[in-house]
Amino acid sequence: MNNKANHCDTKASCKGCNHSECLLSGVEEPKLGEECGVFGMYDLNGDDVASTIYYGLFSLQHRGQESCGIAVSRTDGPIRNSNVCKGMGLVHEVFDAEKLGKMKGDIGVGHVRYSTAGASVAENTQPLVLNYIKGTLSLAHNGNLVNALEIRRELELSGAIFQTSIDSEVIAYLIARERLKVGKVEEAVKNAMTKIKGAYSLVVASPRKLIGARDPHGFRPLCIGKRDNAYILSSETCALDTIGAEFVRDVRPGEIVTITPDGIESDMSMAIEKPARCIFEYIYFARPDSYIDGICVHSSRLIAGKILAQTHPVEADIVVGVPESGNAAAMGYAIESGIPYGTAFIKNSYVGRTFIKPKQSARESSVMIKLNALREVVRDKRVVMIDDSIVRGTTSARIVQILKEAGAKEVHVRISSPPFKYPCYFGTDVPSSEQLVAYNHSVDEICSLIGADSLGYLDIERLSELIDGDEGYCHACFSGEYPVEPPKEDIRGNYEK
């Protein structure tokens, strides 16, 4: 500890402390991350799909920036003819024209990954490719299982050998084992689904079929597209737009879709009455130009901003959003309140995952590298600043300070989600409650900690308005009401997706 009794010396000792000095010391919290994005394609004309999968993954890059991969094979070739390329880094860093040109195959899956805890290492990159007696099985997974450790231990006791530390390998192993008992790979996927619990959107390529599956609660999105005589599975519709494919429909919660030359077969036997889609897909994760289960993400964020203006009005001169997900909510607030909307932040689009972080300093922080305030826009203004969430509070405190250093007279913070109070076990890296500033602090206390003139959150009772009043969504990170019983141990610390 240093001379200030309530200020911590290092990032490790400061973790979760929420001291006001620490919030401005350069100890930055990362933005919330989402597990990953999946993409699959089957060209019934027999044309190669690798380059199209590449562009699909490029459109899903926001869902994961740590690693990526593509696996393709030929449906008219031997049952073991998979061609795989994957590695650490962004899509354009891992792939080039030469690599893609060598990947011959008319069926394939792709993946972009973000890990919530533990090491981000090459062996955990996806897709996972298994060679077994029935041929090759390629799998990409978005989500997080809550019983992965339990199943993994059971499998290990029966002789299974695992090469990774991700729960996706548990799913792949179960499917491969079940395939030996049934006549079709889609039946093996269904049997595996009866054993796993939690969040999973899967894209699976067998030697002759492309399969998509979504967990019964529908935590993570998955949709179907079509381009000419090719079918596509994607985490978001924005990737379909990128490759010029038409949207066919969403994969429904609990549904297994099987794509063959005969078309699409559907199995809804795993569906339940009330799904629990992740509401944070609409608030933050998904690209604003995507549609998830028929709902426009951009429209959801506009509605959130309008609700904030209704429930937390304030006299101000300008409304601004924190890029990117805060922008649409800020527009909604401006429309509803009549306060002019403006652009107050310039975002450095070239700050990638590997930028060199400066030393801990009040003048040099990762937030300042990523964002800079337009002084002429905010000088002598009362500013309403809209952001999507507050986790520990460090980033929010720094952004408020940036605005005030740029000359803002007042900064009124509005958050387009309710306060985070509980961890997420379904594919979002909301940390343990002790690290969440809202768990042990009132709204007024958080307002003081981040240096704002006022603070208002979206009311949890109005969350359903973001998705047209549909109550079938998960809000556990705000309410603590989990649709699936959480694990007895926090698997995210030592067994990560």
How many whole angstroms separate alpha carbon 233 and alpha carbon 12? 41
Q: Active-site residue 36, yes or no? A: yes
Q: Using alpha carbons only, what angle is made at residue 188 by residues 187 and 192, rounded to the nearest 5 degrees?
A: 115
First to last CA, the chain: 35
Instruction: Give the number of residues written for the chain.
Output: 497
- Cross-strand pairs, 474: 278
The one-character DSSP state at 145 is B
Three-state SS at 463: helix
User: Which residue of the set 8, 14, 22, 36 is catalytic?
Assistant: 36
> In which element (H, E) is residue 473 found?
strand 473-474
- What is 152-180 written as a DSSP string? HHHHHHTT---SSSSHHHHHHHHHHHHHT
Three-state SS at 334: helix
Q: Six-digit token pair at 259? A: 């794509």
The one-character DSSP state at 437 is T
Neighbours of 485 (CB within 10 A): 10
127 cis-preceded (ω within 30 degrees of 0): yes
| Active site positions, annotated | 36
